[in-house]
Amino acid sequence: MTPPPSQGAKPAQGKLALYAEGLLNGSELPMFSSQLLQLLGLPLDDPSAPRKIIELVGDDYALTCKVLRIANSFHYNRSNRPIENLTHAMVVLGMGTVRNLASTLGCFEASANRSPRLRDLMIRSMISAQVAEVIAEGITEIDREVAYLAGMLQNLGEVLVAHRTPDSHLAIVQRIDAGCARDMASMMEVGFTYDHLARLVGREWKLSPSVYSVWDQSRSTATLTQLVRFANELTRVMLLGSEANREAGLSLLLMRHGSALRLNQEEVADVWGRAIADIRSTFEALGVPLASLGLPPVSMKKAS
């Protein structure tokens, strides 16, 4: 019997290349139109970034209206002056926030009519992004807007597999539920890991280097990479069914990343609470009540 692949195993290059080719040359992916890819790959230090953001978002009337609607929510706009256009939104919120809002809305709405599993992945991505942004506020070397976007795209490989081959994705989920490590489960089912696929596709899409770095194995100890993986795993743990499962998952997560990110259980409870409070206005603007998402209470048991 052939032994199962280790987590560090190399991908089956032929399978990976063919799979990626099918994604890149096939029908348009549900969450990654050419307009959205330009937004995701836009470096904010580019002097032309403000104009490009206005053009890209402004080409979609419905998206413009929703960005402004969210920008005018109390969470983003604490002044008494309404934000009436995208230029004003960038002055008040910053280019990164406007780009991230537009990207999030575009991804979420494009996945709304897809399978429940794909929609759930996108919801988890949005929550992970908010968790990453909250954590980044306490880490001086990480830009919180970069952390948000990287947090949202950290599970890009899984999203792509769930879209293109939902049966393979389900089989991977079942292996993980049975106790198999995530990378090993993916290698056994499709011949490559989610990060292998994300790196190949992300390079073809010319995503920003800061986002691309979170799938780079050589950067696994980088602060941004650890932060977004922690955010993604925390979201997954908090969406587990029982309190006992959440507590066990949280303890393991803190053992792996808590020291590097300088977080203890009480601080993680605060991060989760703030992230859920922050994202509430976005979900409400999308007409998706948090109660329908099956989220656990905002508070969690803190260390005594």
Q: What is the DSSP string of 222-290?
A: SHHHHHHHHHHHHHHHHTSSSHHHHHHHHHHHIIIIIHHHT--HHHHHHHHHHHHHHHHHHHHHTT--G
Q: Which helix H or strand E contains 16, and what residues bound it?
A: helix 13-25
- In contact, 111 and 119? CB cutoff 8 Å: yes
> What residues in the chain have per-residue pLDDT under 70?
1-9, 12, 26-31, 74, 111-113, 220, 241, 281, 285-304
- Of the candidate CATH numbers 3.60.20.10, 3.40.50.720, 1.10.3210.10, 3.40.190.10, the domain formed by 116-279 belongs to 1.10.3210.10
Residue 135: what pLDDT?
Answer: 92
Residue 256: what pLDDT?
Answer: 85
Question: Position of tokens 């989920």?
Answer: 173
- Classify the phi-psi angles of 110: left when phi > 0, otherwise alpha if psi is within -120 to 50, otherwise beta: alpha
Per-residue exposure over 48-68, b if at least 16 CB sit within 10 Å of its own CB, e if not: ebbeebbebbeebeebbebbb
Rg (CA), the chain: 19
Residue 74: what pLDDT?
Answer: 67
Question: Position of tokens 């050419």?
Answer: 34
Structure-token pair, residue 14: 């032929």
Q: In whole angstroms, what is the distance from residue 302 CA to residue 297 CA?
A: 13
Residue 216: what pLDDT?
Answer: 82
CATH 1.10.3210.10 in the chain: give the residue spans: 116-279
Residue 222: what pLDDT?
Answer: 83
Q: Residue 76: helix, strand or coil by DSSP?
A: coil
Q: Residue 84: helix, strand or coil by DSSP?
A: coil
DSSP string, 132-168: HHHHHTT-TTS-HHHHHHHHHHTTHHHHHHHHH-HHH
Q: In whole angstroms, what is the distance from residue 17 CA to residue 30 CA?
A: 21
Residue 31: what pLDDT?
Answer: 62
Residue 168: what pLDDT?
Answer: 94
Query: How many H-runs (helices) and E-runs (strands) does the chain carry?
Result: 17, 0
Q: Determine the residue type at 116.
A: P
Residue 7: what pLDDT?
Answer: 45
Q: In whole angstroms, what is the distance from residue 158 CA to residue 29 CA?
A: 13
